Amino acid sequence: MKFLQPVLLFVLCFTLVSVHSFGQTIMTAAPQLLTDPFLQLPTANSVRVVWFTEFVGKKHTVAYGENLQQIAKATTTKLSRTREDQKSRVGQQTQDGQVYQQPTKRDVWRHEAEVTELTPGVRVNYRVTSEREDGAAVISDVFTLAAKPEPGTPLKILLTSDHQLKPMTAANLQKVVETVGRVDAVWFAGDLINVSDRASEWFDDNRGNALFPGLQGRAKYEMQHDGVKVTYTGGQIIQHAPMYSCIGNHEVMGRFARKNSLNNEFDDTFPRAVAQKLYSGKSLIDNSFNTTTYEEILTLPQSKTGGKKYYAVSFGDVRLIALYITNMWRTPKLDEKYPGRYQEADKDLDNPENWGYGQIIYEPIAQGSTQYNWLVAELNSPEFQQAKYKVVMFHHPPHTLGDNIVPAYTDPVQIIRNQQDKITSVRYEYPHNADYIIRDVVPLLEAANVQLVFYGHSHLWNRFISSEGMHFLETSNVGNTYGAAWGDRKREVPTGYQEKYVALGDPNDLEPVVPSIAPLLGEDGKPMPYLASNNITVFSIFDTATGKISSYLFDTRKPDSEVMKFDEFQLR
């Protein structure tokens, strides 16, 4: 009871001062939506409208049409794993906690209605209404929706990834709308948030840069340079355009409720094969890893074998394949105190339940795996082969100057050393010639004439072209970059291991392409083939009318400066 009292006090205060109420049990204030409505899974004559509240309500509807006279009723479900904890930044809670001292359930309800009988190419007005149990109702603003575009429709598609509440995200998305206007779709290459089960990261982190506010023009993130403060609001994007995403490592949660914070639970992903042995008879999902919250929040296309985890969809002239290619990020530091990419912590050598097992791969993609076989079938499908543009999106980079491409994308090879029947070390090797993306996936894509592979993970912009003419683009720079392995800056890689881990350049032997219009210059005055900055943010737009992909930069240190196009290339 002592813990509940400050929570109730917080709810009362926050409901009075915030745009979004936080307590679904408090019925004295006007109801609020937790998000604006947004669009998902359009078909030739329909689209899904989704929104969230913190009250279950008794009636949720979408009004649509020229005079908003047509009504679609929503189905309501409750998110099963959304929580807050001592690291949450929500309401009046600061970085030091105060309200939550441990993971605590937060009730969030999801509402989804299907708007039907749409005509391709015709935009329709819509708004949503949620009525609370006491009869009080809240109505959204009016937005527009449309059915899935037909082939031949010119489209502008935003390419983005790795938002993770980073400092420049709101500025980035605001500049998208100011520069190109309304986009027709968003392709999101993973890492939408940091900790998937932390509700406030999706909806209402009090720093003003949660995922949905940024993509809906309701962010409120303040940046300051040279004493000048600017507040960025993000862009009103997904209220009008559907978003297609793939799973990044930050969409994956670890062993459920085993740790005392959501950060620790996120870090506690565990191999399924080991979990089957250690936790026989118990839930395999709860004792290994899961993407439950990600899948509950988003309505995405589904494949027969992968569900929402990997899928393919046609959108105008494009066939987009979204793959589940990501692994557990672990520190490259050779620190005996922590489980890392290359070794286990000394203190846990006798306790395999606490091992990290290296950078485990969540979904197999090696030749012969279920996902690989599905990909082969998709690449041979009429929908794929007849598409004008063939694009593949996943999270982990096949080519990059970033740090996260090392070691190779392969299952860790465990090496246990013993002395007098006592474990003295546990190491992990990653054979470079067994990289599943380079060895198995890329040859498939090149043979199928894929024009673009789009990905994220390393928080920078760079691109590459293979000898076969396939383009690779990483455009994930919204702040907190980790730099590039170029010039004098090397990746942190171990020595004394069997493998030789590459410290500079792309370890998979492609040269980065220098931006075609206005590259940044290095200290030596030479053009740099990448952009990795905590001050300059980047976004990319795919224009299907021309086949061109244009990348733009904005210097947040100069809030009155113009957005500048610095690179452009064309898909063959």
Contacts of 140 (CB under 8 A, 6+ apart): 33, 36, 37, 51, 127, 128, 129
> Which tens digit of pLDDT belongs to each residue from 191-209?
999 999 999 999 999 999 9
Which of 3-12, 103-112, 223-232 reaches the highest mean pLDDT? 103-112
Q: Determine if the peptide bond prior to 149 is cis (ω within 30°).
A: no
pLDDT at 10 over 70: no
Contacts of 282 (CB under 8 A, 6+ apart): none
* Rg of the chain over all Cα atoms, to the nearest angstrom: 24
User: Tokens at residue 407, please?
Assistant: 């070691």
Measured torsion, CA atoms of residues 385, 444, 463, 185, in degrees rounded to the nearest 10: 40
User: Tokens at residue 157, please?
Assistant: 């598609």
Query: Is residue 42 packed enough to be buried (19+ CB in 10 Å), middle (13-18) or exposed (0-12)?
Result: buried
User: Tokens at residue 222, please?
Assistant: 């303040």
> Residue 570: what pLDDT?
98
> Which tens digit of pLDDT belongs to each residue from 348-376?
999 999 999 999 999 999 999 999 999 99
Contacts of 283 (CB under 8 A, 6+ apart): 256
- Please, which pLDDT band fits residue 22 given cuts at 50, 70 and 90? very low
- Closest alpha carbon to 39 in 123, 132, 107, 164: 123
The CA distances from residue 153 to 17, 114, 129, 551, in Å, are 44, 23, 32, 22
**Cβ distance 250 to 192 under 8 Å?**
yes
**Cβ distance 214 to 163 under 8 Å?**
yes
**Cβ distance 140 to 212 under 8 Å?**
no
**Cβ distance 184 to 150 under 8 Å?**
no
- Closest alpha carbon to 547 in 348, 425, 331, 390: 390
User: Could you state, in order of their start, the residue ranges of all structural domains in the chain?
Assistant: 1-148
Q: Cα(first)–Cα(last) distance of the chain, in Å?
A: 65
> How many residues are present in the chain?
572
pLDDT at 26 over 80: no
Indicate the average pLDDT of the chain: 94
Tell me what the mean pLDDT of segment 481-502 comes to: 95
Question: E strands within 161-287?
Answer: 185-188, 221-225, 228-232, 243-245
pLDDT at 478 over 60: yes
- Please, which pLDDT band fits residue 335 given cuts at 50, 70 and 90? confident
pLDDT at 14 over 60: no
Is domain 1-148 in CATH 3.40.50.12780, yes or no? no
**Between 331 and 12, where is the model more confident?**
331
> Residue 480: what pLDDT?
86
pLDDT at 313 over 90: yes
3-class DSSP assignment, residue 28: coil
pTM: 0.94
Half-sphere exposure of 537 (CA within 13 A, CB side): 28
pLDDT at 560 over 50: yes
- Please, which pLDDT band fits residue 29 given cuts at 50, 70 and 90? confident
User: What are the strands of the beta sheet with 318-322, ordered from one edge?
Assistant: 311-315, 318-322, 389-393, 452-455, 471-475, 461-465
Neighbours of 68 (CB within 10 A): 14
**Cβ distance 327 to 404 under 8 Å?**
no
- Closest alpha carbon to 210 in 165, 263, 250: 165
**Cβ distance 159 to 130 under 8 Å?**
no
